[in-house]
């Protein structure tokens, strides 16, 4: 594990950052050799959210900072864990105070060209940019979630070494910024697209009272999938994380467009993710029918 003299900054302190920090703590055997964790989240600038954010920091033993510069001061590495649409903005802000040589681990779900732009900003400020792709939900695996890392040899290897020192399991995907994120983006066409298909299919089926028959038909066609459970899970993902997933899918739209290919499915997926999130419906208990009804009541 990394020694206790090392400072790590966490830029953004939502679900992923909290999962990583709690995971690191779970495998630490000597509290005297814990890294010095400092976090900054833009929510602390909102008086209504500052208190809950500070409580979140305290719960996990992290020093909360009211400005990004405070979190970055003296940091050996910084994990950027904001939303996809704020990743370049975060890198630009960080460039004003990042310590030369600091590893900037960009874990956001962004298009390769967005990560390349962020890398240019961080590199110009003397930082070492590492493209990191988080390849599965952070729960329940937390710090053991699969990670892909990409970048110039020395930076990618330094990033992977640091991640391993924290008990994480990175794999190097390539030597170019954007190679890890490209894998993540194109995988999301399928994963988030299936969520959007679930919403359109099952909300319509529920509205006309035939969702049980539709699910039974899907189950007969593909008995290897528990369609009832998968439907409930996909709706929960959209209800809880739809806004963030929509931002990611807009990056996917840009990724596919840059390849000169049609991106209608990704664009529609982004709109469905936004639409479900905008209802504000609570995911609640794990029953599919209840989730569908709560969304339908607000669409």
Residue 169 falls inside a structural domain: yes
Residues 166 and 212 in one domain: no
Domain edge (last residue) among 176, 201, 227: 176
Domain edge (last residue) among 152, 176, 200: 176
Residues 56 and 196 in one domain: no
Mean pLDDT of 47-71: 95
Residue 138 falls inside a structural domain: yes
Residue 168 falls inside a structural domain: yes
Q: How many CA atoms lie within 13 A of 125 on its CB side?
A: 21
Residue 119 falls inside a structural domain: yes
Domain region containing 246? 181-297
Residues 141 and 186 in one domain: no
Edge-to-edge strand list for the sheet holding 170-174: 63-64, 36-40, 7-11, 77-80, 103-106, 128-134, 147-150, 170-174
- Give the pTM: 0.91
Specify the CATH number for the domain of residue 11.
Answer: 3.40.50.720
Residues 276 and 128 in one domain: no
Residues 134 and 208 in one domain: no
Specify the CATH number for the domain of residue 276.
Answer: 1.10.1040.10
Mean pLDDT of the chain: 95
pLDDT tens-digit series, residues 183-203: 999 999 999 999 999 999 999
**How far is Cα 82 from Cα 176, in angstroms, rounded to an integer?**
22
Could you tell me which of 238, 184, 190, 166 has the C-alpha nearest to residue 19? 166
Residues 130 and 192 in one domain: no
Mean pLDDT of 246-274: 98
SS3 assignment, position 80? strand
pLDDT tens-digit series, residues 161-182: 999 999 999 999 999 999 999 9
The count of domains in the chain is 2
Residue 2 falls inside a structural domain: no
Residues 206 and 160 in one domain: no
Confidence (pLDDT) at 131 = 98
Residues 212 and 254 in one domain: yes
**How far is Cα 291 from Cα 299, in angstroms, rounded to an integer?**
12
Q: At what angle do helices 179-207 and 264-279 cross, to 10 degrees?
A: 60
pLDDT tens-digit series, residues 215-241: 999 999 999 999 999 999 999 999 999
Domain edge (last residue) among 144, 176, 208: 176
H-helix or E-strand containing 172?
Answer: strand 170-174
Residue 291 falls inside a structural domain: yes
Residues with Cβ within 8 Å of residue 2, at least 6 apart in sequence: 8, 35, 162, 165, 166
Given a cut of 60, whether residue 1 has pLDDT beyond it is no
pLDDT tens-digit series, residues 103-121: 999 999 999 999 999 999 9
Residues 262 and 148 in one domain: no
Residues 151 and 109 in one domain: yes
Residues 185 and 268 in one domain: yes
Given a cut of 60, whether residue 31 has pLDDT beyond it is no
Residues 44 and 159 in one domain: yes
Residue 1 falls inside a structural domain: no
């Amino acid at each position: 594990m990394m020694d206790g003299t090392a400072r790590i900054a966490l830029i953004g302190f939502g679900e992923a950052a909290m999962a990583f920090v709690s995971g690191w703590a779970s495998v630490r055997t000597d509290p005297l050799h814990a890294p010095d964790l400092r976090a900054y989240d833009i929510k602390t600038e909102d008086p209504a959210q500052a208190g809950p954010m500070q409580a979140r920091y305290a719960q996990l033993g992290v020093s909360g900072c009211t400005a990004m510069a405070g979190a970055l001061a003296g940091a050996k590495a910084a994990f950027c864990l904001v939303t996809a649409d704020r990743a370049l903005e975060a890198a630009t802000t960080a460039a004003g105070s990042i310590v030369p040589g600091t590893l900037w681990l960009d874990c956001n779900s962004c298009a390769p060209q967005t990560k390349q732009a962020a890398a240019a900003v961080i590199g110009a400020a003397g930082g070492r940019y590492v493209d990191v792709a988080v390849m599965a939900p952070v729960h329940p695996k937390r710090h053991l979630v699969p990670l892909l890392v990409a970048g110039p040899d020395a930076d990618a290897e330094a990033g992977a070494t640091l991640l391993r020192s924290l008990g994480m399991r990175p794999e190097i995907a390539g030597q170019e910024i954007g190679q890890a994120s490209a894998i993540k983006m194109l995988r999301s066409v399928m994963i988030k697209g299936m969520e959007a298909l679930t919403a359109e299919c099952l909300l319509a089926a529920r509205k006309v009272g035939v969702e049980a028959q539709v699910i039974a038909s899907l189950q007969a066609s593909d008995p290897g999938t528990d369609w009832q459970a998968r439907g409930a899970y996909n709706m929960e993902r959209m209800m809880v994380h739809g806004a963030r997933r929509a931002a990611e899918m807009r990056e996917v739209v840009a990724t596919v467009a840059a390849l000169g290919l049609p991106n209608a499915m990704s664009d529609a997926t982004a709109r469905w993710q936004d639409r479900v999130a905008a209802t504000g419906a609570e995911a609640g208990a794990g029953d599919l029918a209840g989730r569908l009804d709560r969304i339908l009541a607000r669409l």
